[in-house]
Amino acid sequence: VKLGTGGLVRAYGGCAGQCLLLAEKIELIEKKKIQFACLFNEWAIIQYELMQQQIEYQESYTETGVLIEARVQVHQIEPLRHKLQDVTRGRESLKVIEEQEDDN
């Protein structure tokens, strides 16, 4: 039996709709990679803030302080930027690292 254009649209549309209703939904949260530095005496305050916001980070120790890399939710960037400015008295700034997408 030939369904015709309208019949095919209804059949495939209904099937696709049912699949979407039954599929598990997950929330996609955009994250950005950031990097910043601070002095050793400022690190405890910054570390506390990262833990309070449940931000996973990696720290590297240098001769002058701590270099931090993290992946944060987009809405966390500005509050963290302001906190860093406050703690370092404007000396340090938070940098958002643009990640290149693979075309493979």
How far apart (Å, rounded) are the C-alpha atoms in residues 17 and 9?
A: 12
Q: Parse the chain into domains and list their residue ranges.
A: 31-97
Q: What is the pLDDT of residues 44-61, one digit of tens each?
A: 999 999 999 999 999 999
- Provide mean pLDDT across the span 2-21: 82
Cβ-contact 84, 46 below 8 angstroms = yes
We find that the CATH architecture of domain 31-97 is 2-Layer Sandwich (3.30)
How far apart (Å, rounded) are the C-alpha atoms in residues 36 and 4?
A: 61
Q: Residue 83: is its pLDDT beyond 90?
A: yes
Q: Which amino acid is at 95?
A: K
Inter-axis angle of helices 77-87 and 40-52, to 10 degrees? 150
What is the structure's pLDDT at 91?
Answer: 94
At a CB cut-off of 8 Å and minimum separation 6, what does 34 contact? 69, 70, 71, 72, 77, 80, 94, 95, 96, 97
| CA-based R_g, the chain, Å | 23
